[in-house]
Structure 1
Amino acid sequence: MQNQKKKNSSRKAILIAVFSIAVTLAFGFDREQDTKPPKPMNVIFILTDDHRFDFMGFTGKVPWLETPAMDQLAKQGVWVRNATVTTALCSPSRASILTGQYAHTHKVVDNFSPLPDNLNFFPEYLQKAGYRTAFFGKWHMGHAGDDPQKGFNHWESFRGQGVYYNPLLNINGQRVQYKDSTYITDLLTEHATTWMSQQPKNKPFFMYVSHKGVHDEFMPAPRHRNKYHGKPINYPSTINLTATEKSKLHGDVCKSPIAAMVKNDTNYNVKDIPQWVWAQRNSWHGVDFMYDGRVQFDDFYYRYCETLLAIDESIASIRKSVEELGIAENTMIIYMGDNGFLMGEHGLIDKRNMYEESQKVPLLVYAPGMSHNGKPLEQIIQGIDIAPTVLEVAGITKPANIQGQSFLPLLQDKQVNWRNKAFYEYYWEFSYPQTPTTLGVREGAHKFIFYPGLWDVSEFYDLSTDPEEKKNLYRHPAWQPEIARMRNELWKWLQETGGLQIPLKPITEKRGDYGTKGLY
């Protein structure tokens, strides 16, 4: 009898255990785990300067360009294929990232405009929620120099664009001069990983690494110098589109078969190239007179790619530190460019305009549970969406003054109502008058570009058939209804967001105001 009772008791215990395991498997947690609040996620935001959207190894744009860390982020995480900025210029774009607002809202419309006192940067909200925050690198907004800014517990920056070698850093208010050929990308990476290792385990952190690279004048790390020199360059098919008999192309561009091809290719609508594009070719931002003729195109191209290599190594170092610290399962890493960069497209270099290579930027996101199995995210994400996304990751409700929206649900493969348009604005600068004020909207494969106050032709492209923007369809009769609709969408956006008045700013500064070459 006693043995039978013991057997029954054992069976009962086994059944209870089996039931408990079944519940755990069915719901993915047990009661004790269910009562624990989720641990706040750390966020690392890495921003580079002038990195165009397609100069990464995995895109295949430059066959010999090696970016293993970026490739790994894209494979293991999410590559946002259609990431764009709202203004392709350093200061306005960076202000939009930090505020979640369009340039005409935050009023940092150029590289000189002072920062309005009423601006709120999203790290301020993170601090209030208990996050430790840090900033490393280029600030470059509102002529604020290198002074510590609100929203950051730890601060390391430099004045203006800074320098690639032997930088002077402002570290929490104290200036430190580095020597012995110290390379800025490596230095910022070292300081960032050290700070990360010093953070308490019971507090989440937000770390903003803002690299100088790959801004001109491009200077690779010593270990990368001349790594790519001599490699074949795949010149863009539009590089000679605006060439004339007087054009003096630098380097091997003049030997390219593209020049002969242009005259016979019916895909080119040469007569509807805006006049400002023709004029800019032989200017500071054109391939015929690059930076006042100080550099040849091929060297320019190679140095850009070589300077990118240290950026890629920085990503690898930061990821390695995250793994070694044991926080990989609770850390999101976001990599982004502040604007794109033309490398000869339309006969131009630099950014500012709304062409693909200028408006689109790299955006890679890695975090546990947010992989798309190597498939890119196709929705349009803009710089104004970074702030609300990081805030949602931290469990913070989006403030009403933020105009972007969180794309965290898209990273989690959730079905959400998402925008189908990307708006763009750039305001004419006194120091760089070659590029006019530019407003525009892209929707799906269609792009409309408008130049207010300029006696010049507007632009309309069907990117599905014309990804290189060779054929301006603005005067084409068949596209007039679509152009009219998109023009109305542009004005509606400006009206609804308070952007119908161009925010002019008094300008007295000139190029080289900080005493450094290549300030802009």
Structure 2
Amino acid sequence: MERLRTLIRLKEKMLLALLILLTVATNAQRPNIVLIISDDHAFQAISAYGNKQIRTPGIDRLAKEGALFNNAYVTNSLCGPSRASILTGTYSHVNGFKDNVNFNFNFNQGSFAKVLQGAGYQTAWIGKMHLGDSIPQGLDYYSILPGQGQYYNPDFIQTGNKTRRYNGYVTDVITDVAEDWLEHRDASRPFCLVIGHKATHRTWMPAPEDLGRYDNINFPLPEDFYDDYSTRKAAAVQDMTIAKTMRMAHDLKIYETGDSLAIEASVKRMTPAQKQKWVAYYAKVKADLDARAPKGKALTEWKFQRYMKDYLATAASLDRNISKTLDFLDQHGLSKNTLVIYMSDQGFYMGEHGWFDKRFMYEESFRTPMVMRYPGVIKPGRVINDYVMNIDLAPTFIEMAGTRIPERMQGRSFLPLLENKKYVSRKALYYHYYENGEHSVSPHFGVKTKRYKLIRFYNKVNSWELFDLLQDPHELKNIYDAPAMAPVVTALKKELLEQIRQYKDVEAEAIFNQ
């Protein structure tokens, strides 16, 4: 009898050991995931996407060693709502986070972080999250910026809701905290790490070493810089122009003598050494402006040049730190089994239509940069032209982890596309922007196909817009009322209604039927 018990105990130990070995083997096979999200970084500001005046070697490296997505889009071109869609794999009307003013993200709902955590992944979010003030769920560790965060000497809210201030420039600090987490994680388990960078959000504040980086470059005006918005009612009433909306002190750091510098909280938090370098640099900028004394269009174009120089100098640190993250993964033997994605939360206007900011369904803000590296799966140097959306990331991560994709998720896994397996690409893209106030951009929804884009504006402005993207890639001429386009309008309205119903956007359907 005792011998039998001994044999049973021995078998139990062997089974337990086998289970442990299988778990370790499974964990070793499942890929790690590093998702790097920037804020307001335009694809036009990346050399891999064709910008020939600057270099972005970190982002370009990901494209060279992996894939560049030419047609990645967002569901709602706004910081918080975009992150909510990425996290949940759902549109704003489903996840409940429609805009940054009136909503707070509900972490009780499902997310890819929760699914991966439940599947044995270690999960972490470091940097900018911008989903309100609720305590994050689904994360083993978090160290996030409060709200928009600060560029210099930033505060972080860490696991347990403790606040810590770091000395240094925010992009560098985020990368350092991420590397520290990677070094101290449980190496026997796969991980999913989101690195959320503040750059390149307004106001654009370069790192000390990047001040003046692009001062010797004269950037060409976009073709449509002096757009008159003559056929687009919503574009005509917006308040996001470089000419009228961009503020001399707050945005362009043209500080007058007296108290104007003191009111800039972002400058006040600098160390004496940081502030000395900052003030000295922008004093030279102001001296240049005073010497030129431009008026009218000349002043607008001077503002454009300063915007470009500050924005791109801010992006320089972002790219440098992406390189640093890739180097860390390489040096620690993590690259071979790690998917690395870089993307922005949405696109951004770099003077197109005379604008900065985002929000509109026009291409510059609707479309977002996205590059990714996945050794052994993605062939280096691949260019992917299929339509993908930010809601597709969550189901893709979950399928990679070998876990069931929740039915609630509205995105589609594009893992088969990466693996060169059978994949049916989207034929149309649906978009819905809600915020009714900031920059006077009217709420709107619409559909994009390969050739056409149909948009329905409501609330502030009630109108329809139709663009032939083949003939009018800059979306300058609204042809909705052209008699010859009546059949196209009919077909696109049918497609739009199908998309609305597919994604169960009840609010949009009610407006559509008005």
Describe the shift of the 1:198–1:45 C-alpha distance in structure 2 as closer, same or farther (beyond 3 A).
same
Contact residue 104 and residue 502 of structure 1 kept, 8 A: no
Percent of residue pairs identical: 33
- 1:489 and 2:495 are equivalent in the alignment: yes
CA distance, structure 2, for counterparts of residue 42 and residue 54 of structure 1: 29
Contact residue 166 and residue 184 of structure 1 kept, 8 A: yes
Describe the shift of the 1:428–1:111 C-alpha distance in structure 2 as closer, same or farther (beyond 3 A).
closer
Tell me which stretches of 4 or more aligned residues in structure 1 moved more than 3 Å: 35-38, 291-295, 453-457
- 1:165 and 2:145 are equivalent in the alignment: no
- Report the CA distance between 1:466 and its aligned residue: 2.2
CA distance, structure 1, for counterparts of residue 187 and residue 99 of structure 2: 40
- 1:339 and 2:329 are equivalent in the alignment: no
Match of 2:202 in 1: 216
Match of 1:131 in 2: 121
* Partner secondary structure for residue 442 of structure 2: coil
364-373 or 233-242: which moved more?
Answer: 364-373
CA distance, structure 1, for counterparts of residue 449 and residue 366 of structure 2: 14
Match of 2:65 in 1: 76
- Report the CA distance between 1:175 and its aligned residue: 1.2
* Partner secondary structure for residue 149 of structure 2: coil
CA distance, structure 1, for counterparts of residue 248 and residue 211 of structure 2: 22
- Report the CA distance between 1:457 and its aligned residue: 4.2
Say which of 174, 178, 186 aligns to 2:166: 178
CA distance, structure 1, for counterparts of residue 507 and residue 50 of structure 2: 42
CA distance, structure 1, for counterparts of residue 412 and residue 217 of structure 2: 42
CA distance, structure 2, for counterparts of residue 133 and residue 428 of structure 1: 31
CA distance, structure 1, for counterparts of residue 248 and residue 205 of structure 2: 18
Say which of 276, 288, 291 aligns to 2:234: 276
Match of 1:466 in 2: 472
- Report the CA distance between 1:477 and its aligned residue: 2.4
Match of 1:303 in 2: 310
CA distance, structure 1, for counterparts of residue 408 and residue 212 of structure 2: 47
Contact residue 233 and residue 461 of structure 2 kept, 8 A: no
Contact residue 369 and residue 412 of structure 1 kept, 8 A: no
CA distance, structure 2, for counterparts of residue 177 and residue 463 of structure 1: 47
Describe the shift of the 1:148–1:472 C-alpha distance in structure 2 as closer, same or farther (beyond 3 A).
same
The one-letter code sitting in structure 2 at the alignment partner of 1:458 is W
* Partner secondary structure for residue 376 of structure 1: strand
Q: Which runs of 5+ in 1 are unaligned?
A: 1-32, 243-269, 504-520
Contact residue 227 and residue 353 of structure 2 kept, 8 A: yes
* Partner secondary structure for residue 54 of structure 1: helix
* Partner secondary structure for residue 317 of structure 1: helix
* Partner secondary structure for residue 214 of structure 2: coil
* Partner secondary structure for residue 37 of structure 2: strand
The one-letter code sitting in structure 1 at the alignment partner of 2:235 is V
Q: Which structure is larger by alpha-carbon Rg, 1 or 2?
A: 1
461-470 or 204-213: which moved more?
Answer: 461-470
Describe the shift of the 1:116–1:59 C-alpha distance in structure 2 as closer, same or farther (beyond 3 A).
closer
TM-score, with length taken from structure 2: 0.80
Contact residue 336 and residue 376 of structure 2 kept, 8 A: no
CA distance, structure 1, for counterparts of residue 461 and residue 147 of structure 2: 34
Say which of 361, 370, 374 aligns to 1:363: 370
Residues 251-400 of structure 1: pairs in structure 2 closer than 5 A: 271-272=230-231, 274-280=232-238, 283=239, 285-294=240-249, 295=252, 296-400=303-407
CA distance, structure 1, for counterparts of residue 498 and residue 180 of structure 2: 48
* Partner secondary structure for residue 378 of structure 2: coil
Say which of 420, 438, 453 aligns to 1:447: 453
- 1:201 and 2:187 are equivalent in the alignment: yes
CA distance, structure 1, for counterparts of residue 439 and residue 507 of structure 2: 20
Over residues 21-47 of structure 1, what are the superposed CA-to-partner deviations in whole Å (9 max), with x where a residue is unaligned?
xxxxxxxxxxxx9x9656111100000
Over residues 421-467 of structure 1, what are the superposed CA-to-partner deviations in whole Å (9 max), with x where a residue is unaligned?
1111001324x161001111111122111113455542222222322
The one-letter code sitting in structure 2 at the alignment partner of 1:169 is F
Residues 431-446 of structure 1: pairs in structure 2 closer than 5 A: 432=438, 434-446=440-452
221-230 or 355-364: which moved more?
Answer: 221-230
Contact residue 148 and residue 155 of structure 1 kept, 8 A: no
Over residues 196-225 of structure 1, what are the superposed CA-to-partner deviations in whole Å (9 max), with x where a residue is unaligned?
122233110110000000001011111111
Describe the shift of the 1:322–1:485 C-alpha distance in structure 2 as closer, same or farther (beyond 3 A).
same
* Partner secondary structure for residue 164 of structure 2: strand
Provide the aligned length of Structure 1 versus Structure 2: 433
- Report the CA distance between 1:411 and its aligned residue: 1.1
Q: What is the CA RMSD across the aligned residues, in angstroms?
A: 2.1
83-92 or 167-176: which moved more?
Answer: 167-176
CA distance, structure 2, for counterparts of residue 75 and residue 192 of structure 1: 24
TM-score, with length taken from structure 1: 0.79
CA distance, structure 2, for counterparts of residue 228 and residue 433 of structure 1: 28
Contact residue 91 and residue 140 of structure 1 kept, 8 A: yes
CA distance, structure 2, for counterparts of residue 349 and residue 79 of structure 1: 25
Match of 1:106 in 2: 95
CA distance, structure 2, for counterparts of residue 233 and residue 105 of structure 1: 41
* Partner secondary structure for residue 79 of structure 1: strand
CA distance, structure 2, for counterparts of residue 415 and residue 234 of structure 1: 43
CA distance, structure 2, for counterparts of residue 158 and residue 36 of structure 1: 36
366-375 or 419-428: which moved more?
Answer: 366-375
